[in-house]
């Protein structure tokens, strides 16, 4: 068996390692769901989710688009020496961002705590902000590990952080520290992993900082900050408005559904982690556009299959892992899983937008989509609660996908099999809708099995799933 594994193509071996890391990491996350829901009331769980969504938006600002900048400039470097020089300069920017962000966020922590819905304490806010300041010193080494095809190092860092954080969280929750204990566990795990990864990055590439590098990489990465903030509006801001409209307790139902629906994105992520760092290198090869089109079509098919699987299995997981007071999450879960697939497909289609030396095109797309989502949230959430949030997000994400595809194709044409992918997506939506009306759980599982098989057969017939992939 080991000999056979060694003979596998590098891409497949790397994908298996990334997939294993994600499976273990998110498996620990799912195992923590019954722990959180046992020791935290719905109000506390809603408060914890508010802090985590704060982490979502501030991590975008602190990271300054440096991961995508590393992929863009190191991925198109002429040789290994230039790659290392780019990585050293970006790592220097990362360390500078960590120091500056730590000073600024701790200074304004009381103001942030007072402004957040759900009334988190100042201590809880300080702890999440401290963890965030360290995050950029984790993201850049992890991205460099992916570029160097060192999936084993990525596995150790990613899984180690989640296991350490999960174990500490469980212990502190058992001792009665509540949300504060979860924040302490997160900061401790972030500090340990950031220290180890930063030491490795320094040994491998060194660290450099120059104003010329700041200007060069800032022009590319700076707009990605605003792009990411707009993405936060599309991905997490609805829960802040829900907490104000219906209270943190009821918002916790929607937040739990979103957590389970994110498993869709996690099933797509091993493919993304292999493809995204090398997509520009593939485009530069002879016949690269045609090869990229085939790879993206396979990725979109994986996203559709992932959404169908989570829509069918997610409700059973919610019933099995959480108390009855959290089962309202089942109402939203299948459609949030579908929206996670839409988000994943958009990421795969955006090569044209990121192929130039500026990122103004993604900024325009994300800003326009976020404005549409925000308008929908303001209008629909006060009247329809979580259902309104789902509808507003669906409209905005569909608009974002269409706009990304159109602008990317005008910038850099890639011959995607668009009509065939639309046929697959239509079947996926039909299967998800069928799971909603099937008797639970046996009927949902039967629909899931039939739907997944139908999608696979259709994908093979339409030639968007290569036979050798099976």
Residue-wise DSSP of 327-373:
GGGGGTHHHHHHHHHHHHHHHHT-TTTTSSS--HHHHHHHHHHHHHH
Instruction: Name the DSSP class of 121.
Output: -
Last residue of a domain, one of 209, 230, 254: 209
Residue 215 within a domain: no
Residues 6+ apart with CB under 8 A from 293: 414, 415, 416, 417
Residue 326 within a domain: yes
Check whether residue 103 and residue 170 sit in a common domain: yes
d(CA 91, CA 275) in angstroms, rounded, equals 22
Check whether residue 156 and residue 303 sit in a common domain: no
The answer on pLDDT for 392 being more than 90 is yes
Lowest mean pLDDT among 53-57, 121-125, 354-358: 354-358
d(CA 109, CA 383) in angstroms, rounded, equals 32
Check whether residue 196 and residue 321 sit in a common domain: no
Mean pLDDT of 239-261: 80
The whole-number pLDDT of residue 13 equals 63
Tens-place pLDDT, residues 90-113: 888 888 888 888 888 889 889 888
Q: What 3-state DSSP class applies to 26? A: helix
Lowest mean pLDDT among 117-131, 400-414, 434-448: 434-448
The answer on pLDDT for 221 being more than 70 is no
d(CA 321, CA 184) in angstroms, rounded, equals 24
Strand locations in 10-162 (E): none
Check whether residue 468 and residue 378 sit in a common domain: yes
Exposed e or buried b for every residue in 263-294, given b needs 16+ CB within 10 A? bbbbbbbbbbbbbbbbbbebbeeeeeeeebbe
Residue 422 within a domain: yes
The whole-number pLDDT of residue 1 equals 40
d(CA 18, CA 273) in angstroms, rounded, equals 7
The whole-number pLDDT of residue 91 equals 85
Nearest to 279 by CA among 69, 14, 9, 71: 71
pLDDT averaged over the chain? 80
Tens-place pLDDT, residues 325-344: 788 888 889 899 999 999 88
Helix axes 42-63 and 211-235, enclosed angle (nearest 10): 150
Residue 1 within a domain: no
Residue with tokens 């007071």: 325
Mean pLDDT of 354-378: 81
The whole-number pLDDT of residue 259 equals 82
Q: Which two tokens stand for residue 84?
A: 């290392």
Question: In the structure, what pLDDT confidence band is assigned to residue 358 with cuts at 50, 70 and 90?
Answer: low
Check whether residue 439 and residue 465 sit in a common domain: yes
Q: Which two tokens stand for residue 81?
A: 């020496």
The whole-number pLDDT of residue 66 equals 74
Tens-place pLDDT, residues 394-410: 999 999 999 999 988 88
The whole-number pLDDT of residue 406 equals 92
Cα–Cα distance list, 174 to 40, 46, 302 (Å): 11, 19, 39
The whole-number pLDDT of residue 145 equals 84
Range(s) of the domain holding residue 451: 220-470
Lowest mean pLDDT among 216-225, 244-253, 336-345, 441-450: 216-225
Check whether residue 379 and residue 289 sit in a common domain: yes
Check whether residue 315 and residue 394 sit in a common domain: yes
Last residue of a domain, one of 176, 209, 242: 209
Question: In the structure, what pLDDT confidence band is assigned to residue 229 with cuts at 50, 70 and 90?
Answer: low
Question: In the structure, what pLDDT confidence band is assigned to residue 359 with cuts at 50, 70 and 90?
Answer: low
d(CA 269, CA 18) in angstroms, rounded, equals 8
Check whether residue 141 and residue 285 sit in a common domain: no
Check whether residue 315 and residue 464 sit in a common domain: yes
The answer on pLDDT for 11 being more than 80 is no
Check whether residue 136 and residue 189 sit in a common domain: yes
Cα–Cα distance list, 184 to 18, 27, 33, 105, 386 (Å): 27, 21, 18, 17, 30
Last residue of a domain, one of 209, 233, 249: 209
Lowest mean pLDDT among 271-275, 298-302, 409-413: 271-275
**Sign, Cα dihedral of 179, 318, 27, 311:** negative
Check whether residue 41 and residue 146 sit in a common domain: yes
Tens-place pLDDT, residues 135-145: 878 888 888 88
Nearest to 262 by CA among 324, 227, 297, 306: 306
Check whether residue 100 and residue 229 sit in a common domain: no
The whole-number pLDDT of residue 213 equals 58
Residue 214 within a domain: no
Please name the helix (run of DSSP H) or strand (run of DSSP E) that holds residue 451, with its range, or none: helix 442-461
Question: In the structure, what pLDDT confidence band is assigned to residue 77 with cuts at 50, 70 and 90?
Answer: low
The answer on pLDDT for 385 being more than 60 is yes
Which value, in Å, is the radius of gyration of the alpha carbons in the chain? Answer: 22
Mean pLDDT of 22-43: 77
Q: Structurally, how many domains does the chain consist of?
A: 2
């Amino acid at each position: 068996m080991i000999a056979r594994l060694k003979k596998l193509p590098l891409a497949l071996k790397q994908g298996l390692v990334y997939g294993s890391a994600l499976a273990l990491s998110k498996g620990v996350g799912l195992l923590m769901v019954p722990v959180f829901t046992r020791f935290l009331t719905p109000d506390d769980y809603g408060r914890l989710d508010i802090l985590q969504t704060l982490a979502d938006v501030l991590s975008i600002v602190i990271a300054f688009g440096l991961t995508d900048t590393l992929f863009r400039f190191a991925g198109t470097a002429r040789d290994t020496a230039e790659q290392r020089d780019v990585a050293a300069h970006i790592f220097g920017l990362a360390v500078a961002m960590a120091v500056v962000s730590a000073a600024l966020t701790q200074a304004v922590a009381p103001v942030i705590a007072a402004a957040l819905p759900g009334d988190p304490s100042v201590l809880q806010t300080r702890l999440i902000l401290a963890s965030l300041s360290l995050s950029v010193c984790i993201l850049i080494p992890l991205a460099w590990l992916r570029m160097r095809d060192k999936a084993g190092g990525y596995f150790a860092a990613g899984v180690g952080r989640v296991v350490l954080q999960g174990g500490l969280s469980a212990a502190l929750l058992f001792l009665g520290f509540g949300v504060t204990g979860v924040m302490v566990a997160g900061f401790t795990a972030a500090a340990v992993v950031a220290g180890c990864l930063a030491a490795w990055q320094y040994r491998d590439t060194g660290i450099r900082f120059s104003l010329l590098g700041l200007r060069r990489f800032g022009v590319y990465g700076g707009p990605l900050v605003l792009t990411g903030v707009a993405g936060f509006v599309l991905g997490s801001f609805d829960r802040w408005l829900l907490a104000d409209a219906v209270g943190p307790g009821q918002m916790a139902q929607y937040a739990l559904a979103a957590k389970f629906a994110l498993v869709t994105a996690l099933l797509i992520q091993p493919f993304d982690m292999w493809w995204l760092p090398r997509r520009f290198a593939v485009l530069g090869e002879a016949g690269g556009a045609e090869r990229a089109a085939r790879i993206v079509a396979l990725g979109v098919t994986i996203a559709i299959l992932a959404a169908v699987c989570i829509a069918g299995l997610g409700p059973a997981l919610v019933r099995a892992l959480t108390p009855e007071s959290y089962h309202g999450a089942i109402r939203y879960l299948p459609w949030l899983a579908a929206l996670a697939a839409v988000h994943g497909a958009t990421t795969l289609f955006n090569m044209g937008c990121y192929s130039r030396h500026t990122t103004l095109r993604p900024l325009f797309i994300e800003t326009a989509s976020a404005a549409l989502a925000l308008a929908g949230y303001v209008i629909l959430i006060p009247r329809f609660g979580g259902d309104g949030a789902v509808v507003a997000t669906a409209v905005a994400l569909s608009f974002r996908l269409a706009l990304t595809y159109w602008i990317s194709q005008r910038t850099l044409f890639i011959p995607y099999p668009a009509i065939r992918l639309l046929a697959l997506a239509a079947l996926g939506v039909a299967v998800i809708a069928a799971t909603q009306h099937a008797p639970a759980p046996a009927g949902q599982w039967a629909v899931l099995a039939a739907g997944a098989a139908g999608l696979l057969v259709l994908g093979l017939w339409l030639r968007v799933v290569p036979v050798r992939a099976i």
